[in-house]
Amino acid sequence: MTEVLTTAFTPEKFAENLLNWFDQHGRHDLPWQHPRSPYRVWLSEIMLQQTQVSTVIGYFNKFVERFPQVADLAAAPVDEVLVYWAGLGYYARARNLHKAAIKVMEDFNGEFPKDTEALQSLPGIGRSTAGAILAQAYNMREPILDGNVKRVLARVEGIHGWPGLPAIEKQLWKIAEVYTPEDRVVDYTQAIMDLGATLCSRSKPACERCPFHSGCQAYQLNETAELPTRKPKKKIPTVERYLLVLQDRDGRFLMERRPASGIWGGLWCFPESEKDAALENTLSEWRQHYSIKNDYELAEPFKHTFSHYHVILKPVLINLDSPPPSIGEDGITWMHLEQKDLALPAPIAQWLASGTLSQRQLL
């Protein structure tokens, strides 16, 4: 027996209200819309994961200027891709972007496939991103369910429960499928994302200007603050890390590449040490290999917050009194921090830009 899904609006009325609003108030001049291509749509969708449009626009423009086509991205070294991504965060996205570009060139003859399953075989592409590519690049009727769309549908339909739960997500997907129209799929897809990003925001939604307020269950029941249900909170721990800032007489710094997986994956960073005892052990070991000019100086700590923990970074400024020995390990090297092709984590780059680290302090 086929399940009948009851919704707050008929599919026709939902699409009509949304598209009428979009024609007057939607975003029509985003850089990935002109021209709109599978590559540009895909790139924008990956960049927009966990990142606001206002932040993405500048990165997108610089990225496509350097990598105008998927072939250019596939042919580039991943280090250079990370340089153009630095600051956007969630660096696994950039590594997956590069891997996916190579796969498009090798497995799909340089063309993004027009199939949901095939698109999802590319690294970093899930069901919603695949739907967005098919809808916006190929005008195919495919639903999407990113964070903005989840918020709109949960409020309009009055759905309680954290959208990250499989049962709730399944329910939202069914609603998204029912509401996605046959016509104007490109505009509809952009419109529902725009509505969630502008009027139907997490806090202080502009319900009176929303095209759905007359039938929105959250609005009618005064539950916009409760819906969608928030993820159960966990206490975010705070950890401390020493940044070992070792500089030689030529102004170069000892840098190591982070592992591909994990925080700041693939980026260059100062070596780290976790605890006081570990710091002293590291310094003792370094004294056996390097001629340290004096002891060390602790710079002002600074804090950075990841999605699941806080980290307090404590720079340890160390100077060499003699030329450093050559480095034999892969992923560890001496380098000048001014070079343009150096992919650094955003908080490290910001700390360097603050001027805390200077030649006068270390030399």
- Could you list the mean pLDDT of each consecutive 10-residue stretch along the chain, which spans 363 residues? 74 98 96 96 95 94 98 96 91 95 97 96 97 97 97 98 96 98 97 96 96 96 96 87 87 87 86 76 72 75 88 88 63 80 86 70 44
pLDDT for residue 259:
86
pLDDT for residue 2:
43
Residue 71's Cβ-count burial label (10 Å; 0-12, 13-18, 19+) is middle
Query: What is the number of residues in the chain?
Result: 363
Q: Tokens for 305, please give them.
A: 């917050």
CATH of domain 238-362: 3.90.79.10
- Active-site residue identified among 45, 142, 157, 272: 45
Residue 302's Cβ-count burial label (10 Å; 0-12, 13-18, 19+) is middle
Do the beta carbons of residue 159 and residue 168 sit within 8 Å? yes
Range list for CATH 1.10.340.30 in the chain = 11-220
CATH of domain 11-220: 1.10.340.30
pLDDT for residue 39:
98
pLDDT for residue 324:
65
CB atoms < 10 A from the CB of 51, how many? 16
pLDDT for residue 325:
61
| Largest interatomic CA distance in the chain | 81
Long-range CB contacts for residues 161-170, cutoff 8 Å, separation at least 24: 161/229, 162/228, 162/229, 162/230, 162/231, 162/232, 163/228, 163/229, 164/231, 168/229, 169/145
Q: Tokens for 210, please give them.
A: 């929303």
pLDDT for residue 251:
84
Q: Tokens for 289, please give them.
A: 């290999």
pLDDT for residue 361:
47
Amino acid at 189: T
Range list for CATH 3.90.79.10 in the chain = 238-362
Catalytic residue flag (residue 297) = no
